[in-house]
Structure 1
Amino acid sequence: MIDLWLIGIGTGNPDHVTLEARTALRQAALIMVPRKGPGKGDLADLRHQILAALECQARVVEFDMPLRDESLPYGERVQRWHDEIAALWAATLARETPDGPVALLVWGDPGLYDSTLRIAARLSPAPRLRVVPGITALQALTAAHAIPFNTVNGTVIVTTGRRLRDQGWPDGAETVVVMLDGECSFQRLEVPGLHIWWGAFLGMPEQLLVSGPLAEAAPRIVAARAEARLQHGWIMDTYLLRSV
């Protein structure tokens, strides 16, 4: 049985790697690093930079992430993609025959809007799992804008851009945090009095921040996001909406 450690590394800033994560990475025997295709080499490079900064002695092996089949319905598309990733992990582990814990560096936290745990559950035999928490995009966003996550006794809903597009503003919510929104779904909201705090590449030198009343800030966010994606080939962003 393999010991599989899923280690949250924050949002890309090496300073966000906790002491627990640093210790775990130094104790790992093998570290698997995904390559996400053309234009996204920075993501693998950042992982390598973190490992180099921590002077990790583990063997490092890269693997190519499969592409999702965009012709399939969303649910089936994601399920098949996860199956393919799990198969790649299994093949890598069988080929490398690690003699100790195997680690994966996970952006943010392995338990928050990340599928690493669901993919690990597909492995057979099941590995012994260890999860090391990391700083999330939610924390990095509110810290960057110096705002609280919630209002006093107020509700917070964390959701996706897809749900915001399909269902609109959640009933009774004062604060809505949106993850995984490549289509800037906030543009479709017609709720008066909304304020937005948006951030991309949070905690990194490339960090971008925009905030303000939604109607005024939305065009600036769309433009900044498009320019950053063109420049870097990828973008990780999130935002918080609040009725004020």
Structure 2
Amino acid sequence: MIDLHLIGIGTGNPDHLTRAAETAMNAADLILLPRKRDAALDLIDLRRTLCAAVLRGGTRVVEFDLPERAEDAPYLAAVGDWHDAIAEGWAAQIAAHLPDGGRLALLVWGDPSLYDSSLRIADRLRHDGLAIRVHVVPGITSLQALTAAHTIPLNTLAAPVLVTTGRRLRTDGWPTAADTLAVMLDGGCAFATLDPRGVTIWWGAYLGMPHQALVAGPLAEVSADIVAQRASLRAAHGWIMDTYLLRRAEATA
């Protein structure tokens, strides 16, 4: 039996780790750290730093190469194939390092519940017959870090918030039933495709990290600045993680 702990680690700041996360990391027999392509070396370095700061001995840390998603296939099909490949990678590491079972931990950016596929990948292992129990240690999400950095509430008084992706915002436009949007996974600055009249944006990149970048203001006035800053930061660091909140004027109460 494998006890798989998916541990939310926030946005890269060691102070985002909860005491429950530290306990789970130290209780693990094995922590797997995924390596991405060279441009994202900072990401594994952050995980290494977290392990060095928290682990008190006894937990093995093993790095493995994370498969890359195909860019030339339909999106959902490509993601499905990618998740299959990641599940195979997890299974291979388990067979190599925990053949008799034990406690495995994976460090998940933000929280496993919010636009992260670790739980879906774990389900693939169960469906493939691996004896596995899944546990989740919640973490600080990028939306929490964003609203904290800008010192704003996520929602207006008694009003809902719709969480979506840049891909959906670009394809479908502003959802008719929402006045406040939280936008994740936007690699193409979908906010720039919207009618900016009456819209305020709160944007943040590398939230909680030393090189955190924030921009807020009327979308019509700051959209071009965000696009330029994002491109410059990505070129400087080789990767970027950012998110933003959009709110229409009639929802500012």
Query: Into which bin does the TM-score normalised by the smaller protein fall?
Result: over 0.9
Give the total of aligned pairs. 244
CA distance in 2: counterparts of 1:150 and 1:201, whole angstroms? 22
Match of 2:216 in 1: 211
**Matching of residues 215-234 of structure 1 within 5 Å:** 215-234=220-239
Alignment equivalent of 1:117, drawn from 119, 134, 137: 119
8 Å contact from structure 2 (residues 196, 219) kept in 1: no
CA distance in 1, matches of 2:20, 2:181: 30
Unaligned runs of 5+ in 2: none
- Cα distance in 1, alignment partners of residues 54 and 140 from structure 2: 17
Q: Give structure 1 stretches of 5+ with no counterpart.
A: none
CA contact (8 A) 1:110 1:133 kept: yes
Contact 1:25–1:56 (CA<8 Å) still a contact in 2? no
State the 1:8 CA deviation. Answer: 0.1
- Counting aligned pairs with the same residue, the percent is 61
For 1:38-117, list aligned pairs within 5 A.
38-57=38-57, 58-97=59-98, 100-117=102-119
- Give the match for residue 182 of structure 1: 187
Following the alignment from structure 2 to structure 1, what is the Cα–Cα distance between the partners of residues 222 and 196? 14
Which digits, 9 at most, give the CA deviation of each residue in 1:163-214, with x for residues without a partner?
Answer: 1011111112121000000000000101520000000000000100001000
Within 2, Cα distance between the matches of 1:42 and 1:85? 20
Across the aligned residues of Structure 1 and Structure 2, the Cα RMSD in angstroms comes to 1.0
TM-score of the two chains, using structure 1 as the length reference: 0.98
Matched-pair contact (CA < 8 Å) for 1:169–1:191: no
Maintained 8 Å contact 1:3/1:100? yes
In structure 1, the residue matched to 2:14 is 14
Normalised to the residue count of structure 2, the TM-score between the two structures is 0.94
